């Protein structure tokens, strides 16, 4: 378990949640509150945030990093009720807590809102404040799959008020050894309406996701594959479009279908 950075001046406490005993206590408190087994790095990030330390977490896609939105809230509430802790330590946890999450896409907002509501948390999807106020919210957490050094990283740090040496950092490699990239040159341009290089999608009995740079191109690919596919009652469900112009209910079916 990596050493934690010191909590900020306004959040100092004698309770070190990253110590071995308290780390074990945090896991015990959270286990009945979530429908999955918590990874060590998820618990580590939650403990760092609850004790008042800013967090930078670079975790692989699909590793459950967005659980760090709600695990700190659940852990803080559980610690406040924990009779194993002295009253002086329980008193530092607020009774009413709030989380401000800034997400890059509307679809991700909807997905995380559903997750939080399933845990009994009230959600709102509007923030009318000035974005510059984010740098005054502590503890803050920056969660990402990749973060290269350079101006982009410094810009993120400035926006959130993060400072190197004054935060807890978790970094796990994003290498996916179960994925084999295959690069093929298309025989036709993307500006047309025929995409014969994608015909293999229709004969392979497997799920396939085709990413298109713009919505117009995705619609053209959809139309091409739809006309090439054998006529059957399932054709409209086999080939579907997903983008933010489509209703959330329609998109939700596509997201769920990936895991069927």
Please give the pLDDT value at position 124: 67
Please give the pLDDT value at position 8: 41
Verify that 116 and 20 share a domain, yes or no. yes
The pairing of beta strand 167-171 with beta strand 54-58: parallel
In a domain, 42, yes or no: yes
Verify that 248 and 165 share a domain, yes or no. no
Q: Which residues of the chain have pLDDT under 70?
A: 1-14, 107, 121-137, 255-260
For CA atoms 105, 109, 111, 112, give the dihedral sign.
positive
In a domain, 50, yes or no: yes
Q: Is 61 left (phi over 0), alpha (psi -120 to 50) or beta?
A: beta
In a domain, 178, yes or no: no
Verify that 158 and 244 share a domain, yes or no. no
Rounded to two decimals, the pTM is 0.68
In a domain, 146, yes or no: yes
Verify that 133 and 248 share a domain, yes or no. no
In a domain, 144, yes or no: yes
Verify that 124 and 235 share a domain, yes or no. no
Please give the pLDDT value at position 235: 86
In a domain, 63, yes or no: yes
Domain around 206: 196-257
Please give the pLDDT value at position 174: 79
Verify that 154 and 221 share a domain, yes or no. no
Verify that 152 and 221 share a domain, yes or no. no
Please give the pLDDT value at position 237: 81
Verify that 105 and 154 share a domain, yes or no. yes
Please give the pLDDT value at position 71: 92
Q: How many domains does the chain have?
A: 2
């Amino acid at each position: 378990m990596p050493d934690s950075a010191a909590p900020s001046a306004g959040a100092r406490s004698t309770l070190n949640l990253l110590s071995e005993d308290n780390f074990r206590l945090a896991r015990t408190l959270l286990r009945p509150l979530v429908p999955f087994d918590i990874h060590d790095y998820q618990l580590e990030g939650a403990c760092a945030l609850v004790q008042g330390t800013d967090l930078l977490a670079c975790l692989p896609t699909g590793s459950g990093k967005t659980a760090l939105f709600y695990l700190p809230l659940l852990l803080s509430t559980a610690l406040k009720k924990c009779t194993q802790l002295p009253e002086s330590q329980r008193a530092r946890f607020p009774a009413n807590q709030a989380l401000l999450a800034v997400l890059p896409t509307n679809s991700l907002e909807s997905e995380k809102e559903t997750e939080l509501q399933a845990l009994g948390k009230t959600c709102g999807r509007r923030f009318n404040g000035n974005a510059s106020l984010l740098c005054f919210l502590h503890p803050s957490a920056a969660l990402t799959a990749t973060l290269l050094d350079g101006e982009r990283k410094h810009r993120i740090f400035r926006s959130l008020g993060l400072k190197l040496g004054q935060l807890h950092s978790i970094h796990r490699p994003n290498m996916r050894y179960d994925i084999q990239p295959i690069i093929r040159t298309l025989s036709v341009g993307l500006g047309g309406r025929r995409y014969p290089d994608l015909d293999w999608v229709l004969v392979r009995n497997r799920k396939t996701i085709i990413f298109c740079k713009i919505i117009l191109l995705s619609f053209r690919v959809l139309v091409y594959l739809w006309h090439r596919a054998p006529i059957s009652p399932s054709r409209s469900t086999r080939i579907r479009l997903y983008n933010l112009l489509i209703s959330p209910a329609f998109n939700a079916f596509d997201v769920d279908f990936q895991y069927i």
